[in-house]
Amino acid sequence: MFLVLFRQTQRSVINESATHRADWRHDLGALFVLALCLCVITLSWENPPITTSIVLGMCSATMAVQVIVDLVTRRLPLPISLSTACLMLLVGGVLARSGSQFLAMACGGLVMGITAQILVTISRGSLGRGDVFFCLPLGMVLGVGSTPSTTVVITLYAWAIAALVGGVTACIGLLFRRYSKQSTIPYGPFLVIGTIAMLAVRGTP
C-alpha cells in the first residue's frame, strides 16, 4: 500500500514535467532500487524487530521512488520526504522499546538535514531544498537500532560517501563530455548510495 501510494505520486510528478511522461521504465527502475535496498537490509540485518522492519521498509520505498523522480525531473518532491519522515517518527515513537530509539532517529534526521542545509548554503545551487528534506528520512533510518552519538558518526560517513561518489561521477561526466559545468546533476541517488552503504556496513546493531 505504501509503495503503491508513492508510485502514484511518482507518476504524477513525472507527468507534471513538460518533457517526460511516466511509463513502465520508471516503475521498473523504482522496483530495482527497492529490491537493492531490501537485499542489502536482508543480508546485513539478522531478525530485526518489527519497528526496525517497518521503518526500513518505509524508507526503502521512499528511496526507490525519489531516486527515479530525481533522475527524470531533477526534483525531490517535499510531500514524499516529509510524509515518510513523519511516519517513521510516529512508528519509532509508538513501537520503539525505549526513548533512545526515537531520539537516535530524530538525531539522525536532524544531523543529516543540517549538513544538507549547510551544503546548500555554500554550494550556491548545486543542492536544493528537496535534498535537505530528503535527508530527513535517510538520517532517521540510520538511527534505527542505534544510539544518538553513533548515529551522528554514521550520518557523517554517509554524507562523505555520497560526496565522494557524486564527485567522481561528476568528474567522469565532465571528462567524457556527458556533463558541462552548467549541468544539473541529481544528488538524490548519491545520498541513497551513502545511506545504503552505511546500512550495509553497520548491519544489525
Residue 62 and residue 80 in contact, taking contact as beta carbons nearer than 8 Å: yes
**Number of alpha carbons in the 13 Å side-chain half-sphere of residue 67:** 25
Rounded mean pLDDT for each run of 10 residues along the chain, 205 residues in total: 65 69 78 86 77 83 89 86 88 69 89 91 78 93 86 93 88 74 79 92 65
What pLDDT score does 45 carry?
A: 76
Whether the pTM exceeds 0.75: the reply is: yes
Residue 74 and residue 20 in contact, taking contact as beta carbons nearer than 8 Å: no
CA distances from 94 to 88, 110, 204 (A): 10, 20, 21
Element containing residue 100 per DSSP (H, E): helix 99-123
Cα separation, 67 vs 64, whole angstroms: 6
Q: Which three cell numbers stand for residue 86?
A: 513523519
**What are the extents of the domains in the chain?**
2-202
Residue 156 amino acid letter = L
Q: What is the DSSP letter of 143?
A: T
What pLDDT score does 144 carry?
A: 85
Residue 75 and residue 65 in contact, taking contact as beta carbons nearer than 8 Å: no
Cα separation, 79 vs 12, whole angstroms: 12
Element containing residue 156 per DSSP (H, E): helix 148-175
Residue 81 and residue 136 in contact, taking contact as beta carbons nearer than 8 Å: yes
